[in-house]
Structure 1
Amino acid sequence: MTSIVIPAHNEGRVIGRLLDELLADTSAALPAATSAPSGAGAQTTDSTDIVVVCNGCTDDTARVAGARGPRVRVVEIPTPSKHEALRVGDAHARGFPRLYVDADVVFGSAGVRALSAALADRPDLLAAAPGRDIPLTGCAWPVRAYYGVWQRLPAVREGLFGRGVIAVSERGHARIAALPPLMADDLAASLAFGPGERRVVETARVVVHPPRTWSDLIRRRVRAATSSAQLEHAQAAGAAGAPAADAAAAQPVASARTGTADLRALLRAQPGLFPGVVVFLAAAVVARRGARRAVRTGDFSTWLRDESSRRG
């Protein structure tokens, strides 16, 4: 049985569209790895296990999710913590492959089947994520310019982060279950797997709604800069011989930070991207400045949320 865990904090405006897509197309069969035991017949997507963990919600997220029927199990916890929501979701999930899906993306049952099939076809593959579509219509031009560069970066194209969906096998789950609570949970999960252990499945597609304004983009980038610093501190602690409880999950791994060499390579290949690179660098400088206080004080819990991507 494929399990889908959806952490949701005040996502009443958008979680319905995600659940409707996940619940659609119930007649198609899941891949063999998620089939019923021999002789019992293949399971359909009706057997997909969906758990929505409403964490610290003060809106109607639980009501909206619960209205989708018995195939959606809603768990409510008082703590507004994505990490805690993922932990609770794991405790309620019933099977593998297991998908972790952000409530504000749009991802359908066909994508679930594609990711499940990819993990079933290769036992050495521990984690997978879908290809991303970022609709930029209605976004301010600096936002469009920023994403015109960001989407072309090698780490962004090849990593599992920034997609809002990660699928893991049972072995892959054991790898990420050891990770400490981090703001950059998807980045940490992506970097927990080597290139041969993870895969972006382009036939599966997820729609990731971007911020519409420059200020909301900067809020996202400040959060990303803060969370990347937290992850690097955790890696350094593990490399320096932190206590076993932390070091097991804080091994030194590859970084996904963008280097000047990546930007120079982009410009050599596509000189027309120069204005976008300028915008990208400006956003990076502003975001790092904005993250300094949080990094200095160790504030890795303040979640700077972009509301503009949740409109409509």
Structure 2
Amino acid sequence: MQDRAVLASVVIPAHNEERVIPRTLARLQHGLPPGSLDVVVVCNGCTDGTAAAARRAAPGARVLEIQQPSKTAAVRAGNGATDVFPRVHLDADVELSGRDLVALVRPLQDGRVLATAPRRVLRREHTPWLVRSYYDVWEQLPQVRSGLFGRGVIALSAAGQARVSALPPLMSDDLATSDAFSADERRVVEEAEVVVVAPGTVRDLVRRRTRVATGNSQAADHGARRPESVTTWRALGRLALARPALALRLPVFIGIALVARAASRGAVRRGDYSTWLRDESSRA
């Protein structure tokens, strides 16, 4: 039975996140009294000190350890360990404060909004020009602005969680979650913000985007991707006309997108949707 004093549950899958999990957990506690959140950290297939680091950083959190290095399995274990709603799914390498979490879950209380995500603050001050240029374009795409994906955190009501739990296991789980809801059922909460660190190298950006392209292909094959979440040439043209300053950056965006899509084809042909091309530079 849910304790009325508990505001929300937070499920954090963590695979070899020893370097960043203390920061994430410390930020999550900022602005909230102890015991306000039911935090479940699921260390999956870790070969470092992630579990010990999590226990030190948040003694009140429950830290589970599973052998399988799988985000899907970790999320499933985390969901099974708590019955508290709203439920916040948080990546281990992003920063969301307790105060921002309060704003994030507030719209879920009325029953009409089923899923929320915070405004994205993308840290890219220490990234190369090519990486910054890519994200200058990416962040202005309509689906990126309105969708819940690419933020590292999504909050769900009980009804929203039930809908997401019915989805097939997919690599691009945040895209599938976002596209599981209509525009009226989901909301980007501008009063809340999450800090996401951009890749520190072009190579790591390509790795990250290759993983996304692979996952997007899988989601499309399963019918879990809405047409409006696809980036089209027409959308890029409209963006260039509306924001002429971005026109010089469009070749960078297109070039990296094409390289990533080409790199993903082998995995798609093999049906390999489990190899996680991890960006290590953003965890430095």
TM-score bin (small chain) = over 0.9
Mapping for residues 37-186 of structure 1, pairs under 5 Å: 46-120=35-109, 122-186=110-174
Q: 2:236, 2:60 → 1: CA distance?
A: 46
Post-superposition shift, 1:174?
A: 0.6
Q: 2:244, 2:36 → 1: CA distance?
A: 50
| Corresponding residue for residue 28 of structure 2 | 22
Q: 2:36, 2:151 → 1: CA distance?
A: 25
Q: Is this contact kept in 2: 1:191–1:255, CA < 8 A?
A: no
* 2:255 paired residue among 277, 282, 289: 282
| Corresponding residue for residue 33 of structure 1 | none
Q: Is this contact kept in 2: 1:216–1:307, CA < 8 A?
A: yes
- Post-superposition Cα deviations, 1:237-258, rounded to whole Å, max 9, x if no partner, equal xxxxxxxxxxxxx5x7445121
Letter in 1 for 2:238: A
Q: Is this contact kept in 1: 2:26–2:58, CA < 8 A?
A: no
| Corresponding residue for residue 3 of structure 2 | none
Letter in 2 for 1:20: A
Query: SS of 1:207's equivalent?
Result: strand
Post-superposition shift, 1:308?
A: 0.4
| Corresponding residue for residue 197 of structure 1 | 185
Q: Is this contact kept in 1: 2:88–2:153, CA < 8 A?
A: yes
State the structure with more CA Rg: 1
| Corresponding residue for residue 275 of structure 2 | 302
Q: Is this contact kept in 2: 1:115–1:128, CA < 8 A?
A: yes
Q: Which runs of 5+ in 2 are unaligned?
A: 1-5
Query: SS of 1:195's equivalent?
Result: coil
Q: Is this contact kept in 2: 1:126–1:171, CA < 8 A?
A: yes
Q: 2:154, 2:113 → 1: CA distance?
A: 13
| Corresponding residue for residue 40 of structure 1 | none
For the pair 1:232 / 2:238, whether they are aligned, the reply is no
Q: Is this contact kept in 2: 1:5–1:99, CA < 8 A?
A: yes
For the pair 1:7 / 2:6, whether they are aligned, the reply is no
Query: SS of 1:46's equivalent?
Result: coil
TM-score (norm 1): 0.87
Post-superposition shift, 1:276?
A: 1.1
| Corresponding residue for residue 237 of structure 2 | 264
Post-superposition shift, 1:288?
A: 0.9
Post-superposition shift, 1:115?
A: 1.2
* 2:203 paired residue among 182, 195, 215: 215
Q: 1:89, 1:123 → 2: CA distance?
A: 23
Q: 1:289, 1:140 → 2: CA distance?
A: 22
- Post-superposition Cα deviations, 1:183-217, rounded to whole Å, max 9, x if no partner, equal 10000000000000000001100001110111110
TM-score (norm 2): 0.95
Q: Is this contact kept in 1: 2:16–2:47, CA < 8 A?
A: yes
Post-superposition shift, 1:46?
A: 2.1
Letter in 1 for 2:237: R
Letter in 1 for 2:135: Y
Q: Is this contact kept in 2: 1:49–1:94, CA < 8 A?
A: no
Q: Is this contact kept in 2: 1:5–1:100, CA < 8 A?
A: yes
Q: 1:25, 1:128 → 2: CA distance?
A: 20
Q: Which runs of 5+ in 1 are unaligned?
A: 28-44, 236-249
Q: 2:72, 2:198 → 1: CA distance?
A: 22
Query: SS of 2:137's equivalent?
Result: helix
Post-superposition shift, 1:69?
A: 4.0
| Corresponding residue for residue 41 of structure 1 | none
Q: Is this contact kept in 2: 1:164–1:208, CA < 8 A?
A: yes
- Post-superposition Cα deviations, 1:7-65, rounded to whole Å, max 9, x if no partner, equal 000000001101001112234xxxxxxxxxxxxxxxxx623100000000001100000
Query: SS of 2:197's equivalent?
Result: coil
